[in-house]
């Protein structure tokens, strides 16, 4: 009898160690903010009178990256490809001085270290590591369509990394406009 009580007490206190389910939540000694009360995006809300969790921005709110809606929905602008998935031939935005100046500014930050100031491909990786870096003046790159260059900047190629995240689509087009200027002004 005592032995049975002991077994019952042990099972009662320790519970079933493995292989059974429990309706009680597991012990979670260090919660690490794992569970936080929050609303899901687009969820309904009992709290707000319009029944929506998501709030509309107050009138006059300025977007962080203002882009006309027409540009956001333009796949040629966002991906450099047309509806058939082919790279676009020309830059799908108006090329003016402001765009080229912006392109020069971004090129000198993001491309110059490897391709050098004129785009000859004799930047720091070539100089210090003899890493073959394509010259932007070779005929193949002069002949490349704007969409193909957009693809290289967005996704990288070979040893060249992707610049999708530091460079917005409009900055990528600005760089391409500046590369075209470099190609027109220099033979190599």
Which residues of the chain form contacts with ligand HEC (CB under 6 A)? Answer: 110-111, 113-115, 125, 131, 133-134, 136, 141, 149, 152-153, 157-161, 163, 175, 179
Rounded to a whole number of angstroms, the minimum distance from the CB of residue 87 to ligand HEC is 11
Residues with Cβ within 8 Å of 159's Cβ and at least 6 positions away in sequence, in order, are 125, 131
| Angle in degrees, CA 53, 55, 61, rounded to 5 | 165
| Residue 80 · residue 155 · CB < 8 Å | no
Calculate the alpha carbon distances from 59 to 52, 53, 159 in Å. Answer: 18, 18, 46
Q: Which is nearer to ligand HEC, 11 or 164 (CB)?
A: 164
Rounded to a whole number of angstroms, the minimum distance from the CB of residue 188 to ligand HEC is 14
Q: Which is nearer to ligand HEC, 53 or 79 (CB)?
A: 79
Rounded to a whole number of angstroms, the minimum distance from the CB of residue 77 to ligand HEC is 17
Task: Output phi, psi for 28, to 5 deg.
Answer: -135, 80
| Residue 163 · residue 154 · CB < 8 Å | yes
Rounded to a whole number of angstroms, the minimum distance from the CB of residue 141 to ligand HEC is 5
Using Cβ positions, the residue closest to ligand HEC within the complex turns out to be 158
Calculate the alpha carbon distances from 183 to 123, 144, 176 in Å. Answer: 17, 12, 10
Q: Which is nearer to ligand HEC, 77 or 178 (CB)?
A: 178
Rounded to a whole number of angstroms, the minimum distance from the CB of residue 139 to ligand HEC is 12
Q: Which is nearer to ligand HEC, 15 or 113 (CB)?
A: 113
């Amino acid at each position: 009898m005592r032995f049975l009580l002991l077994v019952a007490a042990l099972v009662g206190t320790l519970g079933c160690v493995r292989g059974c389910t429990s309706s009680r939540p597991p012990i979670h000694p260090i919660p690490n903010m794992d569970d936080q009360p929050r609303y899901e995006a687009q969820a309904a809300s009992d709290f707000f009178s319009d029944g929506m969790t998501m709030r509309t921005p107050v009138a006059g709110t300025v977007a962080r990256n203002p882009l006309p809606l027409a540009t956001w929905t333009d796949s040629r602008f966002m991906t450099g490809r047309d509806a058939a998935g082919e790279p676009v031939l020309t830059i799908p935005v108006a090329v003016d001085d402001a765009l080229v100046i912006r392109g020069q500014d971004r090129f000198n930050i993001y491309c110059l270290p490897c391709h050098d100031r004129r785009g000859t491909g004799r930047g720091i990786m070539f100089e210090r590591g003899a890493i073959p870096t394509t010259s932007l003046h070779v005929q193949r790159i002069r002949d490349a369509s704007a969409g193909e260059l957009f693809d290289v900047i967005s996704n990288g190629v070979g040893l060249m990394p992707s610049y999708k995240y530091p460079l917005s689509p409009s900055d990528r087009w600005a760089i391409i406009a500046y590369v075209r200027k470099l190609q027109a002004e220099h033979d190599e």
